[in-house]
Structure 1
Amino acid sequence: MGYLSKMWKAQGSSTGQWPFTKQWLQDLFIGRQTHTGIPLSEDRALTFTAVYACVHIIAQTIATLPLNVYRTLPTGGKARAPDHSLHRVLHSVANPEMTSFSFRETLQGHLGLWGNAYAEKQFNGYGEVVALWPLRPDRTRPFRDPDTKELKYQTTFSNGETVTLPFKNVLHIPGFGFDGLVGYNPIDIAAQSISLGLAAEEFGARFFGNGAVVSGVLEHPGTLGEPGRKNVRQSFNEMHQGLSNAHRLMILEEGMKYQQIGIPPQTAQFLETRKFQITDIARFYHIPPHMIADLERSTNNNIEQQSLDFVKNTMLPWFTRWEQSMDMRLLNDTEQGRLFTKFMVNGLLRGDIKSRYEAYHIAKLDGWMNTDDIRELEDMNPIGGDVGTKYWMPTNYTYADQPTPKPSPKGGEPTK
């Protein structure tokens, strides 16, 4: 990042003071206070397996799909623009230290945890974007310059240096928010639900790690002195405490009696609480439960439909958010309208092989796909020539604006 620091100084970026408010410092170093008593930060939230799974699934989906730059054609179609400098940044290498996959996965992870993703643009001598560098969302904030009314970004690095970046130097992808400029922090909104899930996990871990499974009260008919109590407690813990000693035979001496106390986890609906919190987090991130290994309500018949629902109702808004932000922030005024970015989502919408081949068969017979179109969707090389590029047309089809021929008299020509 030393190179970027030089760039900032060369561009004359002004420095500012980060607004270290009491609440901001508390959230950063201690975590949000929740009703469960567990301080919650973004890093702590990620230790809850349901949160990690949901954030990771969306991030990997964004990172896995090919992302291309396209050029509009005079005929109304589109063509890839691999010669554009931005194509390599988005499709292959985001910067000298990160692949496009890692870059997109990182930024989508920031969106899933902080609700905003920021990256600084690196330009070449022609003003073209040749690299994108992620910025920490917890150390970056947009603000409006009180003098010029322009939107700027202030970010602080790990060494404590704070810089102000102009609007044109930052790619900002905001999540769902209140003003269209800054996204809500998902962990703020779901703090109580996430902390309840963490509390259930901690309860289970402490129950099996510290508590004797046969926990209860030892009653002695006489009076034990301090050494006697220590010996009984030590020997009892050594024999019965911890998961490895669960259900061992208990031997009592000197007329002692054991009385079990406490509420078992089943009675306290411990397992049900954990299961509900996993479903609750899946609902929050709009992830089908089967994708985070909750198969209770899934069948072979509905999993495919749920997967398609994931693409259309979960990922499509994210794709659109990314594409429009990149078109607005990464293309200059002359390129906007002529160039655009787009994820290739066809692979996610494909069904099983039988359904795909049946759909291809219909498309080819109806004349709106040729053999090479189909082979491209199946990641196969084109055949070329008439066999690959020709479009079929059923002989009994005609144009809608043409009159339908009337049956001809016997032995005569068709009449119109």
Structure 2
Amino acid sequence: MGIRSLMGIRGARDKPRNSYAGSALFFLFGRSTSGKPVNERTAMQTTAVYSCVRILAEAVASLPLHIYQYTDKGKERVADHPLYPILHDEPNEEMTSFVFRETLMSHLLIWGNAYAQIIRDGAGRVLGLYPLLPNKMKVDRADNGEIIFIYSRDSEENLNFSTYGQIYLWRQDALHIPGLGFDGLVGYSPIAMAKNAVGMTQACEEYGASFFANGANPGGVLEHPGVLKDPGKVRESWNAVYRGTNNAHKIAVLEEGMKYQQIGIPPEEAQFLETRKFQINEIARLYRIPPHMVGDLEKSSFSNIEQQSLEFVKYTLNPWVIRWEQSLQKALLLPEEKKEYFIKLNVDGLLRGDYQSRMTGYATARQNGWMSANDIRELEDLNPIPEEEGGNLYLINGNMTKLKDAGLFARNDTEKEEEPT
């Protein structure tokens, strides 16, 4: 359907509708109460935000991504599905699967939404996926109730578009992964929602940088007993000689009874370091990242750091994984395929403990019959043992039996003894 017909669908404005534009982020982004402007790019200049976004984006991008098929025995991986190489290897000619997922995940963590253009063939099968910038996307609803995506193209970020300006995409032409939102249609930016915390982090970093740029000395005033004809010249000459890290610890020479009086608060008195540490934890709390993963090891030890890592997978990473899986299945699988196939990001490797714990768990599973040798070897990324050598056998201890059969052998022996010879 052409642009004209789409605009005709959207012509009526007298009905309630859901709409969300990338430009609407500006009512959330902007100047924080600390006075620092906060947007998606200035936020990424803070080490805490960059670290949290990088941790989650790389974690999701590095997970094995496969397509599975439901079978009578459970599930099996389907490597020959047309969608498999697109998701697992190359979503498009310019990106690997890792880079594509890392890019979309960073969009999701900064803007609260991730979008990609879906290229399909005549039968509706997916041929490629291309990222779209969230701040240029508007999600709207046509009068017939169908969701449409309106992308404002003003640069060469996507060569599949031949024109500039507003480009309309139907729901089947766009992959949308929304974050936490209020209406279920779009997500809201974590950075925008926590702009005061991010702004304070920026203010702390700028204060520290300016403090050292000033020679690690707080501000002060020069007092003169008389009347200065040109105070600006005195101030400039003082700054030229004593201001900056290169001029730190120089001996000041004061003339004509002039005195220097400090008026700034030294960082240690303002608890500067404690404030910076708190703000790092504040950003980590925003993204639910364990402090030890952003470099704060104060409350971490050998006894709890592994548990914190497992909690990161279960409570932080897993919700994002589910968002990805369900969004990919909804947008990429054909309607008739959804009953037979599903897409899964495998986090099992991240949930494994240390070597000794894994071996103990495997031994328990092997001895109690719910895992075979090949099941264990698959989890450890080892080649299977041939079936004729017993690789797929399920074993149990011979001294274990059902409660109702307890004493069965003893009764049989007694019955044999009582039988007449």
**TM-score (normalised: structure 1):** 0.87
CA distance in 1, matches of 2:172, 2:24: 32
**More divergent stretch after superposition (122-131 vs 359-368):** 122-131
Give, in angstroms, the shift of residue 234 of structure 1: 4.7
Alignment partner of 1:375 out of 349, 374, 377:
377
CA distance in 1, matches of 2:408, 2:101: 60
Q: Which residue of 2 aligns with 1:48?
A: 46
Distance 1:409 1:334, change over 3 A: closer
Give, in angstroms, the shift of residue 33 of structure 1: 2.6
Q: Which residue of 1 aligns with 2:2?
A: 12
Q: Which residue of 2 aligns with 1:395?
A: 398
Give, in angstroms, the shift of residue 139 of structure 1: 1.0
Distance 1:413 1:324, change over 3 A: farther
Give, in angstroms, the shift of residue 305 of structure 1: 0.6
Distance 1:380 1:24, change over 3 A: closer
CA distance in 1, matches of 2:23, 2:218: 44
**More divergent stretch after superposition (164-173 vs 125-134):** 125-134
Alignment partner of 1:150 out of 146, 152, 156:
146
CA distance in 2, matches of 1:151, 1:243: 57
* Amino acid in structure 2 at the alignment position of 1:282: A
CA-to-partner distance for each residue in 1:304-353, whole Å, 9 max, x for gaps?
A: 11100000000111111111111111111111121000011111001111
CA-to-partner distance for each residue in 1:9-29, whole Å, 9 max, x for gaps?
A: xx6355769xxx9x9769669
Question: Helix, strand or coil: the match of 1:218?
Answer: strand
Q: Which residue of 2 aligns with 1:285?
A: 287
Q: Which residue of 2 aligns with 1:356?
A: 358
CA-to-partner distance for each residue in 1:166-203, whole Å, 9 max, x for gaps?
A: 11111111111112111122122111111111111111
Q: Does the 8 Å CA contact 1:212/1:241 hold for their aligned counterparts? A: no
Alignment partner of 1:88 out of 73, 81, 85:
85
Q: Which residue of 1 aligns with 2:15?
A: none
CA distance in 1, matches of 2:23, 2:341: 43
Distance 1:413 1:286, change over 3 A: farther
Gapped regions of structure 1 (runs ≥ 5)? 1-10
CA-to-partner distance for each residue in 1:66-114, whole Å, 9 max, x for gaps?
A: 1000011123x11111111111111111111111111111111111011
Q: Does the 8 Å CA contact 1:212/1:240 hold for their aligned counterparts? A: no
1:105 aligns with 2:102: yes
Give, in angstroms, the shift of residue 56 of structure 1: 1.3
CA distance in 2, matches of 1:81, 1:410: 52
* Amino acid in structure 2 at the alignment position of 1:241: R
Give, in angstroms, the shift of residue 241 of structure 1: 1.4
Q: Which residue of 2 aligns with 1:246?
A: 248
Q: Which residue of 1 aligns with 2:199?
A: 195
* Amino acid in structure 2 at the alignment position of 1:82: A
Q: Does the 8 Å CA contact 1:27/1:41 hold for their aligned counterparts? A: no
Give, in angstroms, the shift of residue 389 of structure 1: 2.2
Give, in angstroms, the shift of residue 387 of structure 1: 3.8
CA distance in 2, matches of 1:414, 1:267: 92
Distance 1:383 1:225, change over 3 A: same
Question: Helix, strand or coil: the match of 1:142?
Answer: strand
CA distance in 1, matches of 2:108, 2:412: 73
* Amino acid in structure 2 at the alignment position of 1:157: R
Alignment partner of 1:135 out of 132, 154, 165:
132
Question: Helix, strand or coil: the match of 2:391?
Answer: helix
CA distance in 2, matches of 1:122, 1:24: 22
Q: Does the 8 Å CA contact 1:375/1:382 hold for their aligned counterparts? A: yes
CA-to-partner distance for each residue in 1:287-313, whole Å, 9 max, x for gaps?
A: 111111111211111111110000000
CA distance in 1, matches of 2:23, 2:181: 22
Q: Does the 8 Å CA contact 2:22/2:138 hold for their aligned counterparts? A: no
* Amino acid in structure 2 at the alignment position of 1:286: R
CA distance in 2, matches of 1:413, 1:244: 101
Question: Helix, strand or coil: the match of 2:378?
Answer: helix
Q: Which residue of 1 aligns with 2:118?
A: 121
**TM-score (normalised: structure 2):** 0.86
CA distance in 1, matches of 2:150, 2:415: 81
Q: Does the 8 Å CA contact 1:71/1:79 hold for their aligned counterparts? A: yes
Give, in angstroms, the shift of residue 149 of structure 1: 1.7
**More divergent stretch after superposition (302-311 vs 133-142):** 133-142
Distance 1:342 1:214, change over 3 A: closer
Gapped regions of structure 2 (runs ≥ 5)? 11-18, 156-163
Comparing both chains, which one has the higher relative contact order based on Cα–Cα distances under 8 Å and sequence gaps of 6 or more?
A: 2
Give, in angstroms, the shift of residue 258 of structure 1: 2.8
CA distance in 2, matches of 1:145, 1:240: 65
CA distance in 1, matches of 2:171, 2:292: 41
Q: Give the superposed CA RMSD.
A: 2.8
CA distance in 1, matches of 2:2, 2:257: 85
Q: Does the 8 Å CA contact 1:113/1:186 hold for their aligned counterparts? A: yes
**More divergent stretch after superposition (184-193 vs 384-393):** 384-393
